[in-house]
Every structure is written in structure tokens, then in C-alpha cells.
Amino acid sequence: MNETTERVDPGRTVGRYRLLRRLGRGGFGEVFLGEDEDGARAAVKLLHANWAADADMRRRFAAEVEQARRVSGFCVAAILDADPDADEPWIATEFIDGPTLQQAVTEDGPRTGADLQRLAVSTATALAAIHAAGVVHRDLKPDNIMLAPDGPRVIDFGIARAVESTSVTASGIVGTVGYMAPEQLEGMRIGAPVDVFSWAAVMVFAATGREAFPGPTQASRITRILSGEPDTGDLAGPLLETILACLSKNPKARPQARDLLGHLVAGSAPSGVAPTKTEGAPRPDPTLSYTRMERPDPVAGPEAAHMAPPPPSGGHRTPPPREERSTPRPPHGEGRAESGAWGASSGPRGGVPPYHFGGTRFVGIEELAAAFQGNWGEALRVFADPEEFAALGSWVMHDLGDTRVDRALFRREVRDVNLALATFIAEAAPELPPRFRGHDASIKGLAALFHDPTPLVSGAPRANELIMTARPQVLFQMSRHGGGDSAHLASLARDVERAERAGLDFQRELIENLDGWRDVPARVDPALALVFLLRPETVLAPDPGAGAGPETGAWIRALWSRVEATSGADRAGSAAAVYGVLGVIVSMTGQRRELLRELEARKGEQRHLVERDTWRSRHDTALLCLPLLAIASCGVGGGAAAGPSPGLGGFLLTVAALAGFAFMVLLVVRMAEDGRVRSAERRRSNVLPTVLRHTGQALRRMDQDLERARRICSRPHTGA
């Protein structure tokens, strides 16, 4: 795990652990490096204060801890200790000393060959162990896979839940866009298959260095997961087939983790699994009726006996009806246009077989649409199940004979379930108020929902929910509902589209012109643009946070000048673009500070080596002169003493010569021993100018990028 992270207040403790530094933060909490009295290290995760104040969240966190303790310790970061009842609930897991898979692939490139195969097997092993304990990870991604010296480990069970209690509510979707399964994005009840989908998306990233479902915006990435095909790069063979099976849109078609592991070890692809690609794939005939249809009594006609085929094995058994709702037919001649009004084809003549939903019998499409809108989660299951959806299509088209709902909706494969449901409701009952996933989608409701950019900037759990709602396609469907907001909603949808384009154009202009931005992906959050459109007063320059440094502020001021020079949708899009690259700015300015420190350190090292070499040269010269001076001194002294006693002078001269010779021998030996050190220092001294030159060039390029950014943002800008 990266140790160059933010330090915390000295002396802060959690349980038996003294916190050394912050390792990361997310929507649910913060992770710190902790150390106990014996020096053993742990990754200590604290729940955010806003979550800690939630009694239900505390209860679920305690359950998650107990579930996670049951996971076998191989291939995962083992739980060492936890206290769900503390003022700040926390959990301590094994500290993995190594980079994340995200860091490793970003810095060293994609994995290939046996390295990729080992990674796939190890992570699938961890997944099998997690699922065997009855836990769903729900946020498996490259940042949650640590590459330890003894092999990969899966980390972060802070948001894992027991399989039997897994659910998602309108309060938010847990996970990371890019590695979330379609049913997870749709807000449907989820289970272990979401982790299998995430595993496959992680393997695509490990093998290609790119997400499996890339896109320039969050909304486009979500749409591609829901309805598009993965980009698997150069992957081939059984591993590719296994990954494609795991990326199936249908969770029932994905292999279980233990079966996945078996296929990887055997080098075989899963059999009998529906492929991800769906073009030309057969789907149930929408004219057939299945489990949600109740046919007329036999007395209704001779054809009734064969109209309803038997339900498929394992099909849903409709509960006994509690209530029947019907739509009153207007008098003949009081029809409305087909855009949602009553017409000659708005319903069948004679009796209408009821459709069952949520324990209620419906014989009118408007009431059914209202029920769908009021129970979005259950309605999603109808649209996500091909058989259930075929039954709905048969009832609408053949039993009701309704032509207001576009029949193409039932004849195409449903890929974006939320959008399909919103389309059905808008076409079947446009008089209903606009609502999406339980949210009021009127202008007033959207203004209340998108009133604060903070959840989107911080990555809070509800951010994904907001992103799904802010998509222009969704807003266009909301505009189809009658009422005074219709035109305003359509205009807002167009403004969000324009804001996205403006933000992407701004980011691409930076990427194309700034040397250090070549690999930066262009991404603009439509939900953030929508906040800025609905709440112009929130269009404020981002705060990079404490410790960001003056360089970060300089970059933000430079880019924000583009925002100040624009208005309307362009202003909202440009502001969203700046927020979108805030992490890039903070990272690059942090690198610049490191380079400056490196430059100063190398300059100091160079001065030290030069001074040391000079001192040694003078010192060695002085040492060589000493024996000569000693011999000379003894010679003069011996000559002076030779007058009265010539033998004594000769003796002193001989002693001085021998001492000088011995001193010189010792000096030569010492210089020989020191030679290797001096040689290494000279080599280092010769290399340092190159290091200094490259470091200086990197700093100049960064400074030049900042100046180019200032010029780009100061140029007159006109929106498209």
C-alpha cells in the first residue's frame, strides 16, 4: 500500500492501534495505517461521522463485520479486530505492503500471459471464499485488490453485506461506476453475480489498462454497461470467453465464483452461458403470455382454452389478487390524440383480462403505469425479466389493443431497464407527474434533489443515483409528462446535453495542448452540470483541500477563468469540467512539489560531493607532504647534531626515513581502500548533472503547461 500518504495528528489512537497516516478515504469512511504496541501494522477503517450517527447503518456495519470474519483468510485481507459499538465504529484488517492493481497497471502497464492468469485465479479464489461465507463484496475494483509480495489480496469489506440481506434503496447505489453490474446500476435486488461481473471488468482493466465499458462521461459509461458491449482489447482464448460469460447482462447467466475458479484452473470456458453480445439473439415472443396474465373464464369464448400457455418451470406464481382497478372508458366520440389520449384503439372491445402487479388486478394501462411509478423497484423486475416483459407486451398490445405505447419497446431487447420503464410510463400515462426511481422529477423536485454538488464531488453513495437521474435521455422522458414543467424539462435536457459537450470540448482542448495531460481521460459528470444549471449560485471554484499548496490554487484560478468567461449551459459544463479534472490537478501539483524537493536534494548532494572531493584532494596532498617534511626536519636536525656526534645524526636520519616510509605505506593502503568509495562518489557526481537536467526539464514542462492553460482559458470562447 502506498506509504506516501497524509499523516495524521500524532498520538491519535483507535482501539489498540496508534494511527500513523491516512491511506485513503471513500463514501463510507477513512482508512488509516495503524500500529499496535508490538509494532504490528493494520489498515484501520473508521466509519464517517454521518454514517456513525445512523443507527441502521451501525447495525448493518456490525452485521458486515460478523459476516466478514467468516471469510477464509487466504487471498483476502484478514480482519484483525473491530468495534462496531464505538463512538466511531471501526474495523482493522491486515495491512498489505504493496501497490493496488490500479497503481500497478497505471505505472507498469497491463498484465499478460501467466501473470494475468495468476491474477485471475487468485482473485477468483478470493471471490469464491467471500461468497462461501455468505458475503457479497459489492465494490470489487482495481483499487480494492492489493498486490502483496505473496500474491494478490482482495480488501475492503466495509460495504460488504450478507447475501440474504442485500438490497439497494433510493438513498443510493453502492459501488464504483465502470465495475458495477447492470442490475446494480438499475437499483435492483442484487447478490453474488454482481461480484462476478465486477471481477470480469477488473480482469479487462488488468489486461488492457482500460475500463471494459469506457465513455467520456459517467452517464455514457452507465449507458454502455446497461446496453453496450465491452471493449476487451486483445484478449483471446478461454480467458476471453470466460470474461464475456461473466459480463453477461443477465445475472442468472453468469457462472458462480466456485465454477469460475474451476474454469480458470482447467483453462476452459463456461458452457451453456448466454454470450454478452445480443444482436440477433432470440428472445421470447411478446405475443405469448406468461405468469402475470389472468385469462378470461372459459365461457368468454372457445379460444380461451388455448390462449394462455402453461407457465415456464420455476416461473413466478402470481399471488391472489387483492384489488381490481379499471380505467373508465369515455363516451364514444370523446377521444384524444394518440400521444396519450383516448382513441379508437386505446382499449379492446368487450372484456379485458386483468394484469396482476403487486397483488393488484389491473385492466387499465393508466392505473398500471401509476402503480409502476409508485413501486419502481418491483416494476424494474418486470422489465428486466424477458418472460415477464413479454407477458406485459402481450397484455398491452393484444388484450388491451393499446397503441399509445410504442410497440417497438416490446420488440426490442430491453437494455436500459430504468429508461425503458420511464418511457412506458410516460407513453402510457403522460398525465402522471414526472417521477424517476421514486424521485420527484419536476423542476421543483429536481431543484431539491440536485441542490448541492458535495455528494458528487466527494463520491458519496448517492452520487450514482444522481448520475442516473441526470441523464438527458431520462430528462427527455420526464418532459413527456403533461403539466407546466414539460417544456422546461425538455429545455433542461437540452441544456444538460450542451453542458456535457461544452465541458468535454474544454477538457479535450486542455488534453490536446498540455504535454502532461496526454493520458488524462475526458469525463464530465452530467449530474454536476445539472446542479450548476438548477442552482447557479453553487458555481464556485473548487476547494482543493488543506495541504494542496499554492500551485494547485494557481491551476484552479487559471482554469476557472474559462468558467467566468462563459454563461448558461456552457458555464455549467465548464465548471463541471474543472471539477472533473480536480484530481488530476492535485496529483500533478503534488508531483511538482516532489520534483522540487528532489531537485533541491540532488543539488545539495552535488554540492556535498564536490566539497568532499575537494577536501579529500587537499587532505591527501597534506598527508603526502608530512613524511617528506619529517624526513627533511630530521635531516636538518641530524646534520646539526653530527658535529659533536656524527653517529647520533645518522641514526636520527635513518629513524626519520623509516618512519616516513612506513607512514607513506600506510597512507597508500588507506587511499587504496578508500578508492572504491571515491570512485562510486565520482560516478554519482557525474550522473547528477543528468538527473538535475531531467528534473529541471520536467518542472519547466509543468510550468509551461500552466502558462498554456492560462492562454487557453483567456482566449475568447463562444459556445456551440
Tell me, rounded to whole angstroms, the distance of Cα 457 from its chain centroid: 13
Strand segments (E) across 149-254: 151-154, 161-162
Residue 75: all three cell numbers together: 487471498
Which residue do the cell numbers 441544456 mark? 495
Burial of 393: CB neighbours in 10 Å, binned 0-12, 13-18, 19+: buried
Compute φ and ψ for 41, nearest 5 degrees. -100, 155
Query: Is 130 in contact with 75 (CB distance < 8 Å)?
Result: no
Q: Which among 585, 442, 592, 459 has a CA at the least distance from the CA of 528?
A: 459
Q: Quote the CA–CA distance of 145 and 156 in Å, as a whole number.
A: 9
Strand partners, 136: 161
59, 288, 289, 353 from 297: Cα distances, Å: 50, 18, 16, 9
Query: Is 206 in contact with 105 (CB distance < 8 Å)?
Result: yes
Helix H or strand E encompassing 91: strand 90-94
Number of neighbours of residue 194 by Cβ within 10 angstroms: 27
Beta-strand pair 323-325/360-362? parallel
Encode 231-259 in three state secondary structure.
CCCCCCHHHHHHHHHHCCCCHHHCCCHHH
Quote the crossing angle between the two packed helices 113-132 and 193-208, to the nearest 10°: 160
Cβ partners under 8 Å of residue 220, min gap 6: none
- Give the sheet arrangement for strand 355-357, strand by strand: 323-325, 360-362, 355-357
Helix H or strand E encompassing 93: strand 90-94
Cβ partners under 8 Å of residue 527, min gap 6: 218, 450, 456, 463, 466, 467, 469, 470
Task: Please report, as a single letter, which amino acid is at residue 82.
Answer: A
Query: Pick the catalytic residue: 139, 156, 402, 485?
Result: 139
Which residue do the cell numbers 424477458 mark? 386
Q: Quote the CA–CA distance of 249 and 416 in Å, as a whole number.
A: 10
169, 341, 373, 416, 430 from 419: Cα distances, Å: 18, 22, 12, 5, 15
DSSP 453: S
Q: Quote the CA–CA distance of 720 and 717 in Å, as a whole number.
A: 10
Q: Is the alpha carbon torsion for 661, 664, 668, 674 positive or negative?
A: positive
Q: Quote the CA–CA distance of 585 and 21 in Å, as a whole number.
A: 22
150 is catalytic: no
Residue 80: all three cell numbers together: 484483525
Query: Is 27 in contact with 459 (CB distance < 8 Å)?
Result: yes
| 45 labelled ligand-binding | yes
DSSP 414: -
Quote the crossing angle between the two packed helices 486-513 and 526-534, to the nearest 10°: 120
What's the start-to-end Cα distance of the chain, in Å? 45
DSSP secondary structure string for all residues of 21-68: EEEEE-SSEEEEEEE-TT--EEEEEEE-HHHHT-HHHHHHHHHHHHHH
What radius of gyration do the chain's Cα atoms show? Answer: 36
Residues annotated as catalytic (active site), given as ranges: 139
Residue set of the binding site for ATP:
45
Residue set of the binding site:
45
